[in-house]
């Protein structure tokens, strides 16, 4: 009986070690992929999904900005309303993106920052979000109502937003160019805002 308990405890410790190693490898792999994309080693097409992540920027400028409402289906089948914001071209100074990752050993935050010395440049940016704010916003060529491609929403030729903050569960980018990427993995909550 004692041998069976000892064997069970040993198996449990081994499983915890394997899970810890897998968690560290996954976090390191995600950070490595971000670094490779930033330096042009990998193709610069990105899609992220899963748990909600937080993004902030000191200054966001976008051309060809569109916002329409939609809904996403959660894992439990419940529809969750979102705003789908897209821009043909975007430039962001002081970009910070973070994802809180729960593990059996506590939470970790995968956090990436860029755009301190030169703005981050993106094309084909599309974000599903349920919360967006900023301190100052300027829109030119603003159209509200029926959009040229159908559907109701907002379209602006250009948008400039200071101190942008949003939460998202899905973002896609056609191309993404950064010069000063800094990726860290920190224990606990170290989110962008």
pTM to 2 decimal places: 0.69
Residue 76 burial (CB < 10 Å; 0-12/13-18/19+)? exposed
For residues 150-168, give the mean pLDDT. Answer: 89
pLDDT tens, position by position, 21-58: 444 444 444 554 454 444 444 333 333 444 688 999 99
pLDDT at residue 19 tops 70: no
Residue 73 burial (CB < 10 Å; 0-12/13-18/19+)? exposed
For residues 166-191, give the mean pLDDT. Answer: 88
pLDDT at residue 177 tops 60: yes
CA–CA dist 191, 193 (Å, integer): 6
């Amino acid at each position: 009986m004692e041998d069976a308990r000892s064997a069970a405890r040993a198996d449990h410790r081994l499983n915890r070690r394997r899970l810890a190693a897998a968690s560290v490898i996954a976090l390191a792999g995600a950070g490595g992929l971000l670094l490779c994309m930033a330096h042009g080693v990998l193709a610069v097409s990105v899609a992220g999904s899963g748990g909600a992540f937080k993004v902030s920027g000191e200054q966001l400028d976008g051309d060809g900005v569109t916002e329409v409402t939609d809904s996403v289906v959660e894992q439990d089948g419940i529809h969750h309303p979102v705003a789908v914001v897209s821009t043909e071209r975007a430039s962001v100074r002081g970009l910070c993106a973070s994802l809180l990752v729960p593990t059996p050993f506590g939470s970790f935050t995968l956090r990436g920052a860029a755009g301190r010395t030169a703005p981050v440049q993106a094309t084909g940016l599309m974000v599903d979000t349920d919360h967006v704010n900023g301190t100052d916003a300027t829109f030119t060529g603003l159209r509200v109502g029926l959009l040229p491609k159908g559907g109701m929403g907002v379209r602006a030729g250009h948008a400039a937003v200071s101190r942008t903050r949003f939460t998202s569960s899905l973002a896609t980018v056609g191309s993404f160019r950064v010069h000063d990427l800094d990726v860290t993995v920190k224990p606990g909550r170290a989110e962008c805002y």
